[in-house]
């Protein structure tokens, strides 16, 4: 008997997902684990974990006596100690492709909304102003603007393809992506700090790792043009949020679109909540009915594949 434990409280247990285990002799347990201690208590004898955002730390992994696979509902692994899992011989599986369409569309939507000053116009009408030039006199054509894509993986590449329809000049930084892939995406490779200093829009499409944490720090934010916009649909830990809020408040940056934050939910005390010219969404870029079902099905199927390998 292969014991599979689903540890989050958000993903529903539907027959279409658990059907992946039909005929495989699986004991399936759905529980809710919010802390390391919860995971240690509930999962010690599990052969597989299905996780969302629970803290699968080195301490948790050390307590897993039989685990073969940790399968995550999503693409990121910043809540999983991958090195500890690797050392323990535990496979870590993700679903890297389920929300590429959704996240790239969300990034484009944020860019266009901020370039066209939609949050400002909406607020102006609600405050009793009705003048296009009040907040729009400095709006530029998209064909005259540049977007710097920091990260050109699946989502960054799809974002580039969608942005190209609007005529933006596309620059990119990604040390792990080939020149051929840059050319295929229609993106000009440039150094990161050159993009930061010159792009009209900087859009982030990188995972949160030790290498990328605080990548857009205060120094880089201050190097951006005052009329520039920052968009982040990746992870909050990529950006120095306090510095970003300060620069937005003093008018040193033109705007920011943020779907991810260092602490989620975004604390009530966060200065980003009252920063001007911001468009904030609750880590929702991945959302669509299609993507949700795809990520769930594939996460369950990742576990089923390992069970079949073990039984072979």
Question: Which segments of the chain have a pLDDT < 70?
Answer: 312
What pLDDT is attached to residue 138?
87
What pLDDT is attached to residue 291?
97
Total domain count for the chain? Answer: 2
**Per the residue annotation, which of 161, 189, 283, 293 is the catalytic one?**
283
The CATH number of whichever domain residue 78 belongs to comes to 3.40.50.720
Judge if 55 and 152 occupy the same domain: no
Phi, psi torsion values for 169, nearest 5 degrees: -80, 130
Q: Give yes or no: 294 in active site.
A: no
- pTM score, whole prediction: 0.92
What pLDDT is attached to residue 137?
82
Judge if 171 and 71 occupy the same domain: no
Judge if 121 and 224 occupy the same domain: yes
Judge if 139 and 225 occupy the same domain: yes
**Per the residue annotation, which of 72, 220, 235, 241 is the catalytic one?**
235
Query: pLDDT tens digits, residue range 223-278?
Result: 999 999 999 999 999 999 999 999 999 999 999 999 999 999 999 999 999 999 99
Contacts with 79 (C-beta within 8 Å, 6 or more apart), sequence order: 51, 53, 54, 55, 56, 72
Q: Give yes or no: 263 in active site.
A: no
Judge if 89 and 105 occupy the same domain: no
What pLDDT is attached to residue 23?
96
What pLDDT is attached to residue 134?
77
Q: Which residue segment(s) compose the domain that 57 sits in?
A: 2-98+289-311
Judge if 92 and 6 occupy the same domain: yes
Judge if 114 and 260 occupy the same domain: yes
What pLDDT is attached to residue 295?
97
Query: In sequence order, what E strands does the chain have?
Result: 2-6, 26-30, 48-51, 69-72, 91-93, 146-150, 169-173, 188-189, 201-204, 229-232, 255-258, 278-280
Q: Give yes or no: 235 in active site.
A: yes
Judge if 104 and 78 occupy the same domain: no
**Per the residue annotation, which of 264, 273, 290, 308 is the catalytic one?**
264
Judge if 168 and 82 occupy the same domain: no
Burial bucket for residue 304 (CB in 10 Å: 0-12, 13-18, 19+): buried
């Amino acid at each position: 008997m292969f014991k599979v434990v689903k540890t989050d409280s958000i993903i529903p247990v539907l027959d279409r997902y658990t059907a992946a285990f039909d005929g495989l002799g699986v004991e399936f347990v759905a529980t809710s684990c919010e802390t390391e201690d919860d995971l240690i208590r509930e999962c010690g004898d599990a052969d597989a974990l299905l996780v969302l955002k629970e803290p699968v730390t080195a301490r948790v992994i050390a307590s897993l006596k039989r685990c073969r696979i940790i399968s995550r509902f999503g693409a990121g692994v910043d809540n999983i100690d991958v090195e500890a899992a690797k050392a323990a011989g535990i496979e870590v599986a993700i679903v890297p492709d389920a929300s590429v369409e959704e996240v790239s569309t969300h990034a484009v939507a944020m860019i266009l909304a901020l370039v066209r000053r939609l949050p400002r116009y909406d607020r102006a009408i609600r405050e009793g102003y009705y003048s296009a030039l009040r907040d729009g006199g400095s709006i530029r054509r998209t064909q005259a603007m540049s977007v710097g894509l920091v990260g050109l993986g699946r989502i960054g590449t799809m974002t580039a393809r969608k942005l190209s329809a609007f005529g933006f000049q596309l620059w990119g930084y990604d040390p792990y992506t080939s020149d051929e892939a840059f050319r295929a995406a229609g993106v000009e490779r440039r150094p990161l700090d050159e993009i930061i200093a010159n792009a009209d829009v900087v859009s982030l499409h990188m995972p949160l790792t030790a290498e990328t944490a605080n990548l857009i720090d205060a120094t880089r934010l201050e190097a951006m043009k005052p009329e520039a916009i920052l968009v982040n649909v990746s992870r909050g830990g990529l950006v120095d949020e306090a510095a970003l809020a300060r620069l937005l408040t003093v008018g040193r940056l033109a705007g920011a679109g943020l779907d991810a934050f260092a602490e989620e939910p975004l604390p009530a005390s966060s200065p980003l909540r009252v920063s001007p010219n911001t468009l904030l969404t609750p880590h929702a870029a991945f959302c669509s009915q299609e993507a949700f079902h795809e990520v769930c099905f594939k996460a369950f199927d990742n576990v089923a594949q390992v069970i079949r390998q073990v039984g072979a």
